[in-house]
Amino acid sequence: MSLRSAPLAVEAPERARDGLFTPEIRAQIDAHVAKYPPEWKQSAVMPALTLVQEWNGGWLTRELMDDVAAYLDMPPVAVYEVATFYGMYDLEPVGRHKIGVCNSVSCLLCGSEDLIHHVERKYGVRPGETTADGRFTFKEVECLGACRHAPAVLVGKTYHECLTPEALDKLIEELD
């Protein structure tokens, strides 16, 4: 028996799943759950967290993580593990947009540090912080997989490559 094959939890005391999230989100999570064998509902935890985070305005509360755990029959701590491991989940309130600058080696060599320092100076936010006007949350992220066009920045869901501080400024100005 390994950790992987051990049932992570016993049947949780029946919690009203119908009341969780919205019917649309439940349907979308169910579509992901359907991709896996029935006893592996927990495999859908990442898409479920992504869906719920978007619904909640870009971040996850502990209650929402607990709800995801209940919805997928997982122990809550297993959901926290996933949500704290991956950079795309935010556990604190965020701005209207998210800007993630890659800090991994290729981007670092090609000037992502300049981008980070530039944002810090010009907008007064350190990685992990949100601008005072709530326009964006600034994040350092691990490798975006866009090394050939480093440095890369993720704005919302869009990749921007070969960026200079000026080009990044332009991108930020376009945000509402």
Is the Cβ of residue 79 or residue 172 nearer to other proteins in the bound state? Answer: 79
Compute the residue count for the chain: 176
Q: Token pair for residue 173?
A: 């100005």
Is the Cβ of residue 40 or residue 86 nearer to other proteins in the bound state? Answer: 86
Is the Cβ of residue 6 or residue 37 nearer to other proteins in the bound state? Answer: 6
Q: Which helix (H) or strand (E) holds 47?
A: helix 45-55
Least CB distance to other proteins at residue 41 (A):
15
Which residues here bind other proteins, judged by CB under 8 A? 1-4, 6-11, 13, 62, 75-78, 80-81, 84-86
Whether 136 contacts 96, CB under 8 Å:
yes
The identity of residue 162, as a single letter, is C
Least CB distance to other proteins at residue 171 (A):
27
Whether 99 contacts 60, CB under 8 Å:
no
Least CB distance to other proteins at residue 175 (A):
28
